[in-house]
Amino acid sequence: MNLVAQPLSQEAFAAFGEVIEVGGAHVLINAGKCRRYTDLMQADIVDGAVGLSLFEAEIRPMPHHCDLLERHPLGNQCFMPMGNSSYLVIVAPDQGGVPGTPVAFLAQGHQGVNIARNTWHGVLCPISGTGLFTVLDRIGTGANLEEHVLAQPVTITV
Amino acid sequence: MNLVAQPLSQEAFAAFGEVIEVGGAHVLINAGKCRRYTDLMQADIVDGAVGLSLFEAEIRPMPHHCDLLERHPLGNQCFMPMGNSSYLVIVAPDQGGVPGTPVAFLAQGHQGVNIARNTWHGVLCPISGTGLFTVLDRIGTGANLEEHVLAQPVTITV
């Protein structure tokens, strides 16, 4: 199955989580030299707390072959690029406990993405930049990873 | 008063908070293609919750003139650059409720900084890159900002 990654936008991504980017309501701080966009990430953590981690990921060659999706039943997972990395965001609706047809987005280096709790998604997949990301997700014990090997792998181009 | 910004390191910055960067303990995830450095930020929030915001700051010319420090009595404040911005981190110890002698650090674009609760600091001051930052700080009501105009402004070079 071939997919072309579509531009990431809040409207297109709404069923899977949030796009975190500038452009909406803000306040001017620091004598007018900084715009603050406040409280943009909806946390949804079960039995744990949100914490900050760093992910240092290899830059992936294109086209990208995806044969595995995963989801986290106990919390959302938010990725914020640090080194101008554009990256693929591969998600799928749930169909009776397994992923339905995947959808691919191309996120730019100024865009973060907050994948909603229990949403099927591919692993972090930077295609440019440094591959370093700030990640906000659940810190806690217990099983928070479910993986599903795709019967039909997906090839993604941009 | 003139200050030369010193390289940001965990050792040099320890009295003021945390440097958030790769290099310590990690686990390999995503079939070995990603290093995860987990739970790097110590949250210290009074009467509120930590939330994610975006700061879009002007790039400042150098040398930088600093005439104001501020602190947040109700929470830590963590800055993670998104667009490879290097930035000044100006901090000062407290001396009886006012800032003591300031210290300046130069953070690189792959380094985040978590300024400890109630620590005197200058405003966000990127000197290269895009000026876009992911910020984790307290979301809540109540007075969480104290400002202090410096009797003796500081000029910072790198």
What is the rounded average pLDDT of the residues B144-157? 96
Cβ contact B43:B76 at 8 Å:
yes
Distance CA A135, CA A112 (A): 10
Please give the pLDDT value at position B105.
Answer: 98
Specify the 3-state DSSP secondary structure of B61. coil
Specify the 3-state DSSP secondary structure of B97. coil
Shortest Cα distance, chain A CAs vs residue B135, angstroms: 9
Please give the pLDDT value at position B67.
Answer: 96
Cβ contact B67:B104 at 8 Å:
no
Question: Would you list the domain boundaries of chain A?
Answer: 2-157
Please give the pLDDT value at position B85.
Answer: 97
Level-2 CATH architecture, domain A2-157: Sandwich (2.60)
Please give the pLDDT value at position B152.
Answer: 92
pLDDT tens per residue across span A13-65: 999 999 999 999 999 999 999 999 999 999 999 999 999 999 999 999 999 99
Cβ contact A134:A82 at 8 Å:
yes
| B11 part of contact set with chain A, CB < 8 Å | no
What is the rounded average pLDDT of the residues A75-102? 97
pLDDT tens per residue across span B4-40: 999 999 999 999 999 999 999 999 999 999 999 999 9
Q: Is the pTM of this model over 0.95?
A: yes
Chain A residues with CB-CB distance to B35 below 8 A: 55-57
With a pLDDT cut of 70, the percent of chain B lying above it is 100
CA-nearest residue to B20 within chain A is A54
Distance CA B156, CA B104 (A): 7
Cβ contact A132:B110 at 8 Å:
yes
Answer whether B124 sits within 8 Å of A30, measured CB to CB.
yes
Please give the pLDDT value at position A83.
Answer: 95
Please give the pLDDT value at position B83.
Answer: 95
Chain B residues with CB-CB distance to A132 below 8 A: 22, 110
Distance CA B69, CA B16 (A): 14
Extended beta strands in A21-128, E state:
27-29, 34-37, 49-57, 64-71, 77-81, 87-92, 94-95, 98-99, 103-107, 112-115, 120-121, 125-126
Identity of residue B30: N
Please give the pLDDT value at position B37.
Answer: 98
pLDDT tens per residue across span B65-87: 999 999 999 999 999 999 999 99
| A38 part of contact set with chain B, CB < 8 Å | yes
Chain B residues with CB-CB distance to A123 below 8 A: 29-31, 33-34
What is the rounded average pLDDT of the residues A127-156? 97
Candidates B36, B56, B110; nearest CB to A82: B110
Cβ contact A16:A121 at 8 Å:
yes
What number of H helices and E strands is found in chain A?
Answer: 1, 17
When scoring B34, B70, B111, B130 by the number of chain A Cβ atoms within 10 A, the one with the most, hence best to mutate, is: B34
Chain A residues with CB-CB distance to B109 below 8 A: 82-83
CA-nearest residue to A22 within chain B is B54
Size of interface A-B (CB pairs under 8 A): 138
For residue B16, what are the CA distances in angstroms to A87, A147, B19, B55, B93? Answer: 34, 41, 10, 21, 8
Please give the pLDDT value at position A53.
Answer: 98
What pairs with residue A18 in β-bridges? A114
Chain A residues with CB-CB distance to B123 below 8 A: 29-31, 33-34
What is the rounded average pLDDT of the residues B29-53? 97
Going A101 to A44 to B23 to B112, the CA torsion angle's sign is: positive
